[in-house]
Structure 1
Amino acid sequence: MLKLLFTGVWVCAVTLGSVYFSMQYASAPVLSDAEAERRASEEYVPGEIVTVPVIKDGAVQGYFLAKLSFSAKREGIAKLHAPLRQLVTDELYDLLVGSKFIDVADTGSFDLPHFKLLVKDGLNGKLGREVITEVLVEQLEYLSKLDVERASSGQAIAYDKPAPVVDRNGNVAADKLPEAAVKASGSVH
C-alpha cells in the first residue's frame, strides 16, 4: 500500500515538473522594441470575398474570386475618406478587370508575391500614403464560365490538374506543393 502511495506522489511530481518546464520553454518569442512598436501601431483588417470578372476579347471568360486581408497602420485607417473594404474592392476591380495580369489560358504562371505587391502598391497609391503594410491572401480562385454554368445547374465542377504557384523567376517550389498536386502533375520542373 505504501509503495502505491509513493508511486502516485512520484507520478504527480513528474507531471507537475514537466508542465512547469514546458510552460517555461513555450513562452512567446521576445520581440525587439522596434518590432513591438510596429505591431502595436498596426491593425488587422479582415477582408471579404470579391468576385471580379475576367474580361478577354470583349467578353467575360470567367471569374476571379479573392479574399484578401490586410495589415494596416492605425493612424492611416483613421484618416481614410471611405471604409477600407470598399477601397480594396474598388482597387481590385481597377487592377484585374480587363488587365493582362491574369492570363486565363496560362494559370500556371500566376505570381503570388507579385500579385500581393501589386495590390499593396495600388492601394497605397490610391490612398496617397502608405497605409497598407502587408497583404494577406486567404483565398484565390478562378472559375471559368463553364465552371459557373456547371455549378449553377448542380453539376460537380471538373477541375484540371492543379496549377502550381511560381515565383518571379518561373521556378516552382515542388516541396511547397501538396503531395496530391505533385502526383497529379507528374514531375515538376
Structure 2
Amino acid sequence: MIRIVLIGLWICAVALGSLYLAVWQNSATAAVAPNTQEALDDGKTEVFSVPIIVDNAVQGYVVSQLAYTLDHTVNASFKIPVSYFINDEIFSQFYGHYSDVKNIQDVKFDDVKKSIIDGVNARFPQPLVKDLLVEQFNYITAKEIRDQNTKGLQRQQAPQSE
C-alpha cells in the first residue's frame, strides 16, 4: 500500500516539475517574441472584377481576390478599410491599359503586386501595406461568360423525349 502511494507521489512530482519547466521556458521565449517580430494585421479583399474593354466592347474580365498584411501601428490610426484602396489600385492597373487581350495572360504578378503596394502606400503618410498575396487572379473572356450563361437556356429549350 505504501509503495502505491509513493509511486503516486512520484508521478505527481514529475508532472508538476515538467509543467513548471514548460511554463518557465515558454514565458522566457514570450518575453523575447514581441521585440523580434513586427505587429501585423491581415485581411483580404472581396472578389473583384475589372472589365477589359477593347474597341468599345468588353473582351473579358480580370477577376481577383488578394490577401494583404498591414503594419498594425499605421493601420490603427485609420478608420477606412484598406481593401477599398487596394481594389482601386487593381482597377487602375487593368482598366484601359490592355489593348491586346492576349497581353493580360502574360501579366507578371510580381510587377503588379509591387505597383499596387506602392500605389496604396503613396496615399498614406506612412507605408501601410507590407505584402499582397494572391487568393484568386484570373482572366475570363466575355465569350466564356456568355457560353456559361447560355448553357442553362440550352438545357431548358432542349426537347424532352418521352
The reply to whether TM is greater than 0.5 is yes
**Alignment match, 1:143:** 140
Query: If you compute each CA radius of gyration, which structure gives the higher value, 1 or 2?
Result: 2
- Aligned partners of 1:152, 1:42: CA distance in 2, in Å? 42
Structure 1's 144 and 128: CA in aligned 2 closer, same or farther, altered over 3 A? farther
Contact between 2:43 and 2:67, CA under 8 Å: does it hold in 1?
Answer: yes
1:117: how far off? 0.8
Q: Does 1:97 align with 2:95?
A: yes
What per-residue deviation string (whole Å, max 9, x for no partner) do you get for residues 122-149 of structure 1? 1111234310010111111101110110
One-letter amino acid matched to 2:140: L
- Aligned partners of 2:78, 2:111: CA distance in 1, in Å? 25
Q: TM-score scaled to structure 2, two decimals?
A: 0.65
Structure 1's 148 and 138: CA in aligned 2 closer, same or farther, altered over 3 A? same
- Aligned partners of 1:36, 1:153: CA distance in 2, in Å? 56
Structure with the bigger RCO (C-alpha within 8 Å, sep 6+) is 2
Give the secondary-structure state (helix, strand or coil) at the position aligned to 2:67.
Answer: strand
1:81: how far off? 4.9
Q: Does 1:113 align with 2:110?
A: yes
**Alignment match, 1:126:** 123
Give the secondary-structure state (helix, strand or coil) at the position aligned to 1:72.
Answer: strand
**Alignment match, 2:20:** none
- Aligned partners of 2:109, 2:73: CA distance in 1, in Å? 28
What per-residue deviation string (whole Å, max 9, x for no partner) do you get for residues 26-78 of structure 1? xxxx9x9698322xx11111222111111223332110000101011012222
Q: Does 1:78 align with 2:114?
A: no
One-letter amino acid matched to 2:73: E
- Aligned partners of 1:113, 1:73: CA distance in 2, in Å? 20
| Structure 2 alignment gaps of length 5 or more | 1-28, 153-162
More helix by share: 2
Give the % identical residues.
Answer: 22
Structure 1's 56 and 79: CA in aligned 2 closer, same or farther, altered over 3 A? farther
Q: Does 1:36 align with 2:33?
A: no
| Structure 1 alignment gaps of length 5 or more | 1-29, 156-189
- Aligned partners of 1:148, 1:86: CA distance in 2, in Å? 26
Which deviates more from structure 2 when the two are superposed, residues 73-82 or residues 141-150? 73-82
Alignment length, in residue pairs? 122
- Aligned partners of 1:152, 1:70: CA distance in 2, in Å? 32
CA RMSD of aligned residues (A): 2.5
Give the secondary-structure state (helix, strand or coil) at the position aligned to 1:153.
Answer: helix
Q: TM-score scaled to structure 1, two decimals?
A: 0.57
